């Protein structure tokens, strides 16, 4: 009898697992994994006022016990390289890095491609019209989707001059930043008329380089919609039909942090 009950329990668990897998087709049952993350090293691009990535070797070589051993200590600002902007970054009372629900970091995703517009204007801001044009071809943005914006600027990484518009460092360099971002009107449209879980792009900020008010950050983060910045290899993604896994370092009380983001493309 116990064996019968055990077998029945296992069959129920297997059925439940299969049903859960159906909710995320292709996520863990195949598909191509595409790494959307820039590696951290001495060339990693940071905001002109932020400290860069540093790594010191603590030990590298043969240990006294006769085995090989290697360990390092690294230091980095929260906001640099491929990273998460948690809502608290620009919204008082918003979620910290460790408080963002996992279902806002993992799920179905879409790609809005504005490379032609950004090629013509490096201060381009993704507009409501760009989203409506995507929807005209692909259907309405699904509820709970992760939106990725491709500007083409990922191809410039890690050349700060081309990627940011300036290679200068310090407060004085901030005014010389020129790269695309999301228009505040589009950010407002997203939070008022669509239900997205997160947004990301292949530039250093969800607001364009010349922004001084960071309105898109504030609009999105007030609704606890996190942002992923400095994403890599968006040219490898289709307009829709893929999933994203975006898991940041879980820093308690953090306003952001290094992010490992992967796309799963059927």
Element (H, E) at 132: helix 128-138
Say how far apart CA 84 and CA 97 lie, in whole Å. 8
- 227 within 8 A of 198, measured Cβ to Cβ: yes
Q: What is the pLDDT of residues 28-47, one digit of tens each?
A: 566 899 999 999 999 999 99
Structural domains in the chain? 32-46+78-265 (3.50.30.50)
Q: What distance lies between CA 132 and its chain's CA centroid? A: 22
Q: What is the pLDDT of residues 182-235, one digit of tens each?
A: 999 999 999 999 999 999 999 999 999 999 999 999 999 999 999 999 999 999
Q: In 3-state terms, what secondary structure has residue 164?
A: helix
Say how far apart CA 256 and CA 96 lie, in whole Å. 7
pTM greater than the 0.85 cutoff: yes
Please give the backbone phi and psi of residue 172, each rounded to the nearest 5 degrees, phi first: -65, -20
């Amino acid at each position: 009898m116990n064996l019968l009950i055990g077998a029945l329990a296992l069959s129920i668990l297997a059925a439940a697992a299969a049903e859960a897998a159906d909710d995320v087709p292709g996520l863990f049952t195949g598909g191509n994994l595409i790494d959307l993350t820039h590696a951290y090293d001495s060339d990693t691009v940071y905001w002109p006022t932020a400290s860069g990535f540093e790594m010191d070797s603590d030990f590298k070589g043969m240990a006294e016990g006769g085995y090989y051993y290697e360990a390092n200590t690294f230091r980095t600002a929260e906001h640099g390289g491929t990273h998460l902007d948690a809502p608290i970054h620009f919204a008082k009372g918003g979620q910290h890095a460790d408080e963002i629900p996992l279902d806002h970091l993992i799920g179905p995703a879409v790609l809005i491609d504005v490379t032609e517009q950004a090629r013509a204007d490096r201060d381009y801001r993704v507009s409501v019209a760009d989203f409506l044009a995507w929807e005209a071809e692909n259907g309405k943005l699904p509820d709970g989707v992760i939106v990725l914006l491709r500007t083409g600027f990922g191809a410039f990484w890690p050349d700060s001059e081309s990627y940011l518009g300036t290679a200068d460092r310090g407060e004085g360099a901030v005014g010389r930043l020129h790269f695309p971002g999301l228009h505040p009107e589009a950010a407002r449209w997203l939070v008022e008329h669509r239900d997205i879980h997160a947004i990301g792009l292949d530039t250093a900020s969800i607001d364009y380089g010349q922004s001084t008010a960071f309105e898109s950050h504030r609009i999105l983060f007030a609704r606890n919609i996190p942002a992923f910045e400095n994403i890599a290899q968006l040219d490898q993604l289709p307009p829709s039909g893929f999933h994203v896994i975006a898991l940041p370092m879980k820093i308690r009380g953090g306003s952001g942090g290094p992010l490992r983001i992967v796309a799963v493309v059927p």
